[in-house]
Amino acid sequence: MTILKKLSIKNENKSFKYSIFIGENFIQLLENNFFKILNGKKIYVIYDEFFKKFKMNKNMIEEFENLSKRLSAEVFFFKIKSKDKYKNFERLSILLNFILSNRIHRDSLIISIGGGVTGDLVGFASSIVLRGVKCIHIPTTLLSQVDSSVGGKTGINTKHGKNLVGTFYQPEGILIDINFLKTLPKRELLAGFAEVIKYSFIYDKKFFNYLKKNTEDIIKLKSPYIQNIIFKSCQIKARIVSMDEKEQGIRGILNFGHTFAHAFENLINYDNKKLIHGEAVAIGMACAFRLSVILQLCSKTEAEKCMSLISKFNLPTKIKDIKGIKLTSKKLFDKFYLDKKVKNGKITLILFNEIGSVLIKNDVDERVLKKFFNELINE
């Protein structure tokens, strides 16, 4: 088995360093690259319902059991629900009780296999059980492969907002098996492209042109296009996280579109039938483009080029695309003030400058925002 691509992520003061492997067989990637960490240890495999839904759980469990025999390791399995509404205190408690009841040790290893919800929940559990146990992420969705698994953010949702409780906790490694993408429902796959596109908007104009030129081949998961966009996305995020692990500065640009997105998701109570995270991000970015034009931070032409790319990937761009959302300007405004990025009582927004460049703004007039929210809701 050949590793198709590999990159390392480390911060400037060298407090963390790990690798991201992009290949085609996650069991072999795991054994070949983490043998010493796994050998003779207790391994806790936390996987989501993705495997049962596609009747892959039996094979996955058998492969892990065979691996544990080769490693003289003890393996425990736990299945969790993968929707955003289950990323909460209750599910965290259930997961922790399972791990603790099976007598985890500090030198044990926790492995998350699933989408972003699974990775965030398992990463958070890993960071707090026994005050920190090593974990490895094996993301199964495009969105989790290019975004949520990279960078060490963990967390859960509450009724007050998304990811308001969590930690920064870097994994031992990330294994990306591109074969998982072939099993994704089309809607889930397309939603993942929102985060891919985002990287081009905020950091790399050449990447924007690559996505624009090769959209059709990328959506069809053709080689080498899909491998290239996963690698490039991870590379950009790794570069930003390396400079700013705990979001004190430049890492904030990764939230482009997310303040809007998190508000929308909270207002529909994280109902995946109405809206999934990537779709929310796509609409959120479109909102950010429109506001940036109003504030004269960018040209209308540049903003329209970007919104055109969002549409080219068959992603939504308007609030009316969210099924069943009951929205008022006041509700949306209130949710913005619950965002993690609020500082000194001021809303922080990531706004657009030009392709490959965004701005962190915390001085947008509230009256302008309220007027803009009314326009969004009534369009």
302 is catalytic: no
Determine whether 65 is an active site residue: no
Q: What is the pLDDT of residues 135-191, one digit of tens each?
A: 999 999 999 999 999 999 999 999 888 899 999 999 999 999 999 999 899 999 999
Say if domain 190-378 classifies as CATH 1.20.1090.10.
yes
CA atoms of 239 and 86, how far apart (whole Å)? 31
At 330 the pLDDT is: 85
Query: Is 153 a known active-site residue?
Result: yes
Q: Which is the catalytic residue, given 172, 247, 265, 279?
A: 247
| pLDDT recorded at residue 224 | 93
Task: Choose from 5-9, 16-20, 27-31, 204-208 the range with maximum mean pLDDT.
Answer: 204-208
d(CA 347, CA 336): 7
From the candidates 134, 277, 290, 335, which is the catalytic residue?
A: 277
Q: What is the pLDDT of residue 341?
A: 72
What is the pTM (predicted TM-score) of this model?
0.93
- Whether residue 49 lies in the annotated active site: no
Instruction: Quick: pLDDT tens for 126-137.
Output: 999 999 999 999
* pLDDT for residue 1 is more than 60: no
- Concerning whether 137 is annotated as a catalytic residue, the answer is no
- Of 134, 237, 335, 341, the active-site residue reads 237
Closest alpha carbon to 5 in 145, 121, 113, 133: 145
- 131 has catalytic annotation: yes
pLDDT tens-digit series, residues 207-264: 999 999 999 999 999 999 999 999 999 999 999 999 999 888 899 999 999 999 999 9
- Give the class (CATH, top level) of 5-184: alpha beta
Query: 63: burial class by Cβ within 10 Å (0-12, 13-18, 19+)?
Result: middle
Instruction: Determine the average pLDDT of the residues in 322-333.
Output: 83
* Predicted confidence (pLDDT) per residue in 85-107, tens digit: 999 999 999 999 999 999 999 99
pLDDT for the residue 205:
97
Asked if residue 248 lies in contact with residue 324, where contact means CB atoms within 8 angstroms, the answer is no
Instruction: Report the percent of the chain where pLDDT is more than 70.
Output: 99
- Does residue 258 carry a catalytic annotation? yes
- Sorted by where each begins, the domain ranges of the chain are 5-184, 190-378
Q: Are strands 74-80 and 134-139 parallel, antiparallel or unpaired?
A: unpaired
State the average pLDDT over residues 293-308.
96
Residue 11 has pLDDT above 80, yes or no: yes
Q: Residue 16 and residue 8: Cα distance in Å, rounded?
A: 10
**187 classed as catalytic:** no
Which among 134, 258, 290, 341 is annotated as catalytic? 258
Asked if 265 is an active-site residue, the reply is no
Query: Residue range 313-339: average pLDDT?
Result: 86
CA distance 221 to 312: 15
